[in-house]
Amino acid sequence: MKKSIVIIGVVFGIIGWGCQKINNPPQGLKNSIEQASANVNNAFSDISSTKGYEILTANAGPVSKSGTVFSDSITLPMVAGVYDFKPDTLRYEHHDMYPFRLFTRTGDSDHLIVNFPRKMAFHCDYLHVYNPEDTLLKNDFSIDASDYHLYYNWWNNLDYKLTADLSLDSESLGSMDVSAVSSSYRDQSYSSAFTFSDGYTISTAWQSGDTTTSTFALTNASDTLLKETTSFIGTGFHRHEKQYTLSIGNVDIKRGYGIDSIQVYLDGVLQKTAGAKITDSSDTTGSICNKRDILLTFDDGTTAKLSDLIGPALTELRTLVTSLHDMYFAEKVVNYVAINIYYNTR
């Protein structure tokens, strides 16, 4: 009797497993890429409505002169403490770059914690130009840097690190992590990432040398929603794309140097009947952030352009990648604040 019960149980188990496969069939390439594209578009819809996005994009533009002529070294212990924006109206003529002391130390900390008006964070020109009326503004924006150093001098020698949390009215806007090392024009590396308060992270990285590699990624916790990696060999006009990989959800699109065909993988499995074609304009840099597009052909013969699938997200993606690549906020706000404190507390 027990043996019969076991057999019946096994049979129903097999039937149930079969029904589950029928009700939940394996997702094909077309459905996978459409779902992955929807996830990317939803992510950037959420990101673009945040103050974190606003702070990263508000200060886009050429880095201020003060950020490029500095030639000295600053470590976190040199500037650690709690500071409030409370400028000294006395002009220090011997400080050409920083004639006014903008911040007053108000407490001790092993971090660099700086509180200042929001308009100076979102529009750094107000921070760089002294205005007596700014002393009446509320110090409602905060930078809390747990790691910071800036070693810089001429001839592309740079060693930079920043790890900081940003907040507005005590509400988190997100956290940033920036690292850059340069010893020459040909030997440079950097990485820059921003994690938004809702858990999304956008990151970029660059490594130059005999082979130059450029990467950006959009993740949500441990899930990679979108990632592009491009490797080049050579320099200048003689630079050639060595390898290209675009991952969107569980779909990978790959092209190697000297290979005409583009390989498409779904969950790591090469798709034999699906295909892709990379289309570039003449001035592309080999990235979907700059005029690269991909035409996908699915198993059923239908096609779709990547730019159409993730079209709603592309504007925000390009803006964020550029902002992180050029480290706008780190250069124009955090460095300016740290250097001002450094010069006026020695």
Dump pLDDT digits (tens) for 19-73: 443 344 446 899 999 999 999 999 999 999 999 999 998 866 554 433 445 567 8
Residue 237, pLDDT score: 58
Report DSSP letters for 208-255, one per residue. Answer: -SSEEEEEEEEEETTEEEEEEEEEEES-GGG-EEEEEEEEETTEEEEE
Q: What is the mean pLDDT of the chain?
A: 84
| Residue 287 included in any domain | yes
The pLDDT-based confidence of 259 (bands split at 50, 70, 90) is low
Which residue segment(s) compose the domain that 137 sits in? 33-343
Q: Is a pLDDT exceeding 80 seen at residue 11?
A: no
Helices 51-58 & 311-326 angle (0-180, nearest 10): 60
Helix (H) / strand (E) containing 29 = helix 29-47
Residue 210, pLDDT score: 80
Q: Which of 12-16, 73-77, 251-255 has the lowest mean pLDDT?
A: 12-16
Report DSSP letters for 266-327, one per residue. Answer: ETTEEPSS-EEEEEE-TT--SSTTTTEEEEEE-TTS-EEEHHHHSHHHHHHHHHHHHHHHHT
| Percent of the chain at pLDDT exceeding 90 | 53
Tell me the per-residue pLDDT of 183-199, one tens digit each, with 9 for 90 and over. Answer: 776 778 999 999 999 99
Contact (Cβ atoms closer than 8 angstroms) between residue 173 and residue 166: yes
CB atoms within 10 A of CB 303: 12
3 state SS of 16 = helix
Residue 262, pLDDT score: 87
- Spatial CA neighbour of 230 closest among 255, 250, 210: 255
Q: Is a pLDDT exceeding 50 seen at residue 274?
A: yes
Count of structural domains, the chain:
1
Q: Is a pLDDT exceeding 80 seen at residue 282?
A: no
3 state SS of 22 = helix
| Residue 14 included in any domain | no
List CB contacts of 308: < 8 A, sequence separation 6 or more.
Answer: none
Residue 251, pLDDT score: 96
Quick one: CA dihedral 33, 39, 43, 44, positive or negative? positive
CA–CA distance, 205 with 182 (Å, rounded to integer): 13
| Residue 106 included in any domain | yes
| Residue 334 included in any domain | yes
As a whole number, mean pLDDT of residues 322-346 equals 87
